[in-house]
Each structure stands twice: as structure tokens, then as C-alpha cells.
């Protein structure tokens, strides 16, 4: 089955930029979605189809996808951005087509 690998943690100071990677075999050929999950809460979609934002999501959240790596970028990081972030793709060739990444804990210093 398709595997998505994320770094376990990323630390960033307020006002700086956080970059969270999501690695997968030829992931650039797939649409990547990103979710934010705060403790005790349900996930929230923050970026979909590589780089689109749902309504209500700040422009500070952006995404890119090429080759074997997709990236979620959070600009001008705020304390409220501290959360777990998961990438997700749909793998049409798999019996388990909806695949989530391993998750990255973003800590705001």
C-alpha cells in the first residue's frame, strides 16, 4: 500500500515560517490534502488539491507538490497554529485508497 512519511515534529518561532513535508513515491502525480488537528478536536481541512484553501482558512497556509515531496507552508506562524498536521492522498491503485501521512507535531516556541 502507498506510504506517506512526515517528520514527527517541527518547531518554529512566532512570526517565522514552518514547512512540513510529506514524502511519497511520485506524490507529485497525486492530489495532496492537509489537515490540522488540535488536541481533543476533529481534524480541519486547511489545504486541498495541493494548494487550494477552503473558505475561512488564512492565506498564511499554502501548499506545493512536486516529485516525491509535498509541502505545507505556514507563514507568519501564530501560537494558535500549534497542532498536529496530516497529509492525505487518494491512491487509486490500492485496496486502501485513502491514505494519511504519519503526522507532524508543530510546536510554536
Partner 1 sequence: EVQLVESGGGLVQPGGSLRLSCAASGFTFSSYWMHWVRQAPGKGLVWVSRINSDGSSTSYADSVKGRFTISRDNAKNTLYLQMNSLRAEDTAVYYCARPIDYYDSSPFDYWGQGTLVTVSS
Grid cell in block for residue 96? 486502501
Cell of 100: 494519511
| Residue choice 3, 13, 38, 54 for contact with partner 1 (CB under 8 A) | 54
* Residue 39 binds to partner 1 (criterion: CB under 8 A): no
Which residues contact residue 34 at a Cβ distance below 8 angstroms, ignoring those fewer than 6 apart?
20, 22, 45, 46, 47, 48, 61, 63, 72, 85, 86, 87, 88
- Given candidates 43, 60, 69, 75, which one binds partner 1 under the rule CB under 8 A? 43
Does residue number 48 form part of the binding site for partner 1 (CB under 8 A)?
yes
Residue 30 found at the interface with partner 1 (CB under 8 A)? yes
Would you say 26 or 92 has its CB closer to partner 1?
92
Amino acid at each position: 500500500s502507498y506510504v506517506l512519511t512526515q517528520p514527527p515534529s517541527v518547531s518554529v518561532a512566532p512570526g517565522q515560517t514552518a514547512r512540513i513535508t510529506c514524502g511519497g513515491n511520485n506524490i507529485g502525480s497525486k492530489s495532496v490534502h492537509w489537515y490540522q488537528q488540535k488536541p481533543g478536536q476533529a481534524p480541519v481541512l486547511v489545504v486541498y488539491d495541493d494548494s487550494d484553501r477552503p473558505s475561512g482558512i488564512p492565506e498564511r497556509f499554502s501548499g506545493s507538490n512536486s516529485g516525491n515531496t509535498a509541502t505545507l507552508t505556514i507563514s507568519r506562524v501564530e501560537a494558535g497554529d500549534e497542532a498536529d498536521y496530516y497529509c492525505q492522498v487518494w491512491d487509486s491503485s490500492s485496496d486502501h485508497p485513502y491514505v494519511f501521512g504519519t503526522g507532524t507535531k508543530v510546536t510554536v516556541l
